[in-house]
Amino acid sequence: MYRALILLLLALPVQAHQFTPTYPELEQSFVPGVKYTKLKLYNKRKEIEFYEISVFDMDWNRVPFAITERVLRVPYLQTEEIEVYLKEKDSNKSLYICSKSKLLKGQGSVPAVASRICSKVRE
Amino acid sequence: MRKSIIGSILLCGSVFAFAEDVPIEGTVESKCVVTSDTSGVYGNPNPYTLDTAPGQGGVHPIVRYDVIVADYYKAIIEYPEAFSSSPSLDDTLTWDGVVMVNEHTDAAMSDYDSEKVTYNNVTEVTLDHAGSTWFRVENDVEYGVEKSFPAGTYTSIVTAECIAL
């Protein structure tokens, strides 16, 4: 009976998530007062299709930013190049730009590892 | 015979004339790759415990970190302290867990276990050696005071983070 309680934390083969560069540099965008940077997200996690982008300061407070879509669909073995736009006043401090895998509720074989990789924008 | 030799020379000459160098370029840059390496399974050694220990019928989940350059990232791994999905539970859950180095590609990485910082359900390790490290996440949970878990599917989530230093 209790066999029913045995469950999978993760029933998947090797899967990976990659987010580069480690230290992105901000550049002036076409909008005055707004800077931007480019990052690459590579999805080698077959069971994951969506990643959320977030920006934090050094105390892990959320920092406002602009992006085409905060939750990106990145198909398996695809690389997505993203542009993150920040206010110039926020660009003067160190920031983390993070990508986090999104797990779908009720997926057949639910992955149990949520991965998050954060690049650092240096002051 | 002579014509065929001359023809062959001309043919070779024409091949060489069109040969070009085809470069293969690559860039090695600092990066962190987080990989969910091994399936995790909760064993159910008694009615009130779920445990990933092999001795209890479970399998520890293993997460691998690959870093190209040392001292650029730290790993933050959290073992679960709640189910992300489960049958309805009306009693308390007591969670426990630990994160340990399971394998490594550099002998010096064995220091990670002594250097790691732990608080609550979080383990932080500065990845100060280039290469791959496999972290084993041990996790168990007890329900109430020896109360039986309701039958059903239980899912929890390990969070593996890689933060640039």
Report, as an integer, the average pLDDT of A1-15.
Answer: 45
pLDDT of residue B3: 59
Tokens of B106: 């550099």
In a domain? residue A9: no
**B69-117: pLDDT as tens digits:** 999 999 999 999 999 888 999 999 999 999 999 999 999 998 999 999 9
Identify the weakest region by mean pLDDT among A106-115, B55-64, B102-111, B124-133.
A106-115
The total of structural domains in chain A comes to: 1
Identify the weakest region by mean pLDDT among A49-53, A73-77, B6-10, B38-42.
B6-10
Instruction: Answer for the pair B44, A6: CB distance below 8 angstroms, yes or no.
Output: yes
In a domain? residue B3: no
CB contact under 8 A, A18 and B40: no
In a domain? residue A1: no
pLDDT of residue B29: 78
In a domain? residue B14: no
In a domain? residue B1: no
Kind and range of the H or E element at A99?
Answer: strand A95-102
Query: In whole angstroms, what is the distance from residue B100 CA to residue B118 CA?
Result: 11
Taking CA atoms, what residue in B is nearest to A47? B36
The total of structural domains in chain B comes to: 1
The pLDDT of residue A111 is above 50: no
CB contact under 8 A, A9 and B63: no
Query: In whole angstroms, what is the distance from residue B112 CA to residue B98 CA?
Result: 13
In a domain? residue B12: no
**A10-26: pLDDT as tens digits:** 444 557 889 999 999 99
Determine the distance in angstroms separating the CA of B38 from the nearest CA of chain A, rounded to an integer: 7
- If we measure between CA atoms, which residue out of A64, A66, A54 comes closest to residue A101? A54
* Exposure b/e, A99-109, CB count within 10 A at least 16 = b: bbbebeeeeee
Kind and range of the H or E element at B2?
Answer: helix B2-18
| AA letter at A71 | V
Residue A25 to residues A21, A85, A87, A99, B43, Cα–Cα distance (Å)? 9, 12, 14, 17, 47
**Contacts with B165 from chain A: Cβ below 8 Å:** 120
Query: In whole angstroms, what is the distance from residue B116 CA to residue B145 CA?
Result: 32
Q: In this structure, what CATH number is given to the domain that contains residue A38?
A: 2.60.40.10
In a domain? residue A68: yes
Q: In this structure, what CATH number is given to the domain that contains residue B138?
A: 2.60.40
In a domain? residue B118: yes
- Identify the three-state secondary structure at position A109: coil
CB contact under 8 A, B32 and A117: yes
In a domain? residue B67: yes
In a domain? residue A5: no
Report, as an integer, the average pLDDT of A54-65.
Answer: 94
Domain holding B69, by residue range, is 25-164
- DSSP characters for B10-34? HHHHHHHHH-------------EEE
Tokens of B40: 């995790």
Q: Please give the DSSP secondary-structure letter assigned to residue B47.
A: T
Instruction: Answer for the pair B143, B56: CB distance below 8 angstroms, yes or no.
Output: no
Using CB atoms, which residue from B37, B157, B162 is nearest to A103? Answer: B157
- ipTM of the complex in this document: 0.81
CB contact under 8 A, B157 and A12: no
Domain holding A51, by residue range, is 15-121
The pLDDT of residue A45 is above 90: no
Using CB atoms, which residue from B29, B35, B157 is nearest to A16? Answer: B35
Query: In whole angstroms, what is the distance from residue B136 CA to residue B158 CA?
Result: 11
Using CB atoms, which residue from A2, A16, A19 is nearest to B44? Answer: A2
**A76-102: pLDDT as tens digits:** 999 999 999 999 998 888 899 999 998
> What is the Cα gyration radius of chain A?
17
* Torsion angles phi and psi, residue A2, rounded to 5: -75, -5
